[in-house]
């Protein structure tokens, strides 16, 4: 049988030296002589590739907000029988869902305009499910073309997979079993658990952080701290995103609730540069969403902390794992 190597010519290969000034490929020593005081422009048209090698002071500004939007009311939210005959990715919005998406877009615009800055823009990440795409199209109506920096369809933002065409009676049985087993770890037959969603959202989060670090949302020289990222997705997926971002525990995830169709949750850049829910939302709103007192204390820290800082006194997880400290402290001081 012929191999790859058997197709190579048997005669010696003649090499021809190409003059350096006629070669389109630049040598590494030519890059080394580049003036680092001027912007580095990639010859293939992707200047952002070189931003990570620039001095720290030239790092792109972080977007002002990451806005999480749940899709508007869908046919499946009104009648679960829809899933027996329509594939989940193809379920559409209702007329009410379309109106909810438009209202959410108007609310986002009002929120941004309150900043009082003129150079703001929005950049969208969206689940490829039809109800998410329809939400995006209607959500974007209040924004002129010049205000939209871009959009990326992101399959990792899709809804939790509940299986293929769903049997309504079987789904009732499965959801009852999920209550007994636990919402995070229960995997639907031919589908996913929330833990599976967590794994893919972890990958998306790393992509998002990389996009923020290289300033993918605007070309070099046009970057503004008034960029707003909008993630259009699904209820459980967005709860998992927040769990992964803020390192909440499984128990804390179990206590969260979906926010309404066409509603948003805002992660806004705090005074130190980290993203914090308390910059936009009240403690009461976040408690209604399901945040505990310990989670709210952590959000207070997020409000003032800088990127890269660690919260060594965090009460989010410690007390739930170690229960003997009080006894030790009492015995220490009683002796």
Active site residues: 71, 159
Is 209 annotated as contributing to ligand binding?
no
Closest to 134 (Cα-Cα) out of 105, 114, 167: 105
Is 70 annotated as contributing to ligand binding?
yes
Burial annotation 28-38 (CB, 10 A radius, 16+ → b, else e): eeeeeeeeeee
User: Is the distance from CB of 183 to CB of 257 less than 8 angstroms?
Assistant: no
The crossing angle, in degrees rounded to 10, of helices 235-246 and 293-304 is: 70
**Token pair belonging to 320:** 């739930």
d(CA 140, CA 132): 12
- H helices within the chain, ranges in order? 28-32, 75-78, 95-113, 130-139, 168-181, 194-214, 235-246, 250-254, 283-289, 293-304, 318-321, 325-334
Is 187 annotated as contributing to ligand binding?
no
d(CA 92, CA 258): 19
Is 72 annotated as contributing to ligand binding?
yes
- Compute φ and ψ for 133, nearest 5 degrees: -65, -40
Is 38 annotated as contributing to ligand binding?
no
Is 36 annotated as contributing to ligand binding?
no
Is 73 annotated as contributing to ligand binding?
yes
Annotated binding site: 70-77, 131
* Binding site as annotated, residues for substrate: 70-77, 131
């Amino acid at each position: 049988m012929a191999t790859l190597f058997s197709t190579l010519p048997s005669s010696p290969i003649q090499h021809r030296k190409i003059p350096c000034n006629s070669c389109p490929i630049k040598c590494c020593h030519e890059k080394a002589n580049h003036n680092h005081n001027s912007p580095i422009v990639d010859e293939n048209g992707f200047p952002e590739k070189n931003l990570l090698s620039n001095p720290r002071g030239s790092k792109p500004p972080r977007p002002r907000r990451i806005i999480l939007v749940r899709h508007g009311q869908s046919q499946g939210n009104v009648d679960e029988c829809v899933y027996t005959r329509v594939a989940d990715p193809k379920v559409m919005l209702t007329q009410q869902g379309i109106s909810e998406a438009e209202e959410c877009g108007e609310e986002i615009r009002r929120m941004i305009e309150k900043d009082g800055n003129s150079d703001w823009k929005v950049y969208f990440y969206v689940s490829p499910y039809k109800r998410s795409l329809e939400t995006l199209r209607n959500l974007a109506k209040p924004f002129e073309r010049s205000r939209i920096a871009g959009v990326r369809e992101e399959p990792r933002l899709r809804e939790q997979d509940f299986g293929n065409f769903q049997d309504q009676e079987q789904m009732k049985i499965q959801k009852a079993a999920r209550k007994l087993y636990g919402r995070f770890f229960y995997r639907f037959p031919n589908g996913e658990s929330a833990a599976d969603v967590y794994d893919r959202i972890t990958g998306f989060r790393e992509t998002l952080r990389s996009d923020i670090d290289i300033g993918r949302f605007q070309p070099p020289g046009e970057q503004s701290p008034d960029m707003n990222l909008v993630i259009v997705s699904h209820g459980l997926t967005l709860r998992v995103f927040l769990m992964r971002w803020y390192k909440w525990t499984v128990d804390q995830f179990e206590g969260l609730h979906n926010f309404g169709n066409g509603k948003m949750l805002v992660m806004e850049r705090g005074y130190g540069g980290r993203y914090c829910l308390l910059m936009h939302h009240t403690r009461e709103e976040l408690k209604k969403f399901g945040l505990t007192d310990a989670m709210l204390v952590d959000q207070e820290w997020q409000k003032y902390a800088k990127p890269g800082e660690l919260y060594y006194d965090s009460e989010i997880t410690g007390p739930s794992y170690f229960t003997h400290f009080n006894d030790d402290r009492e015995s220490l001081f009683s002796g």
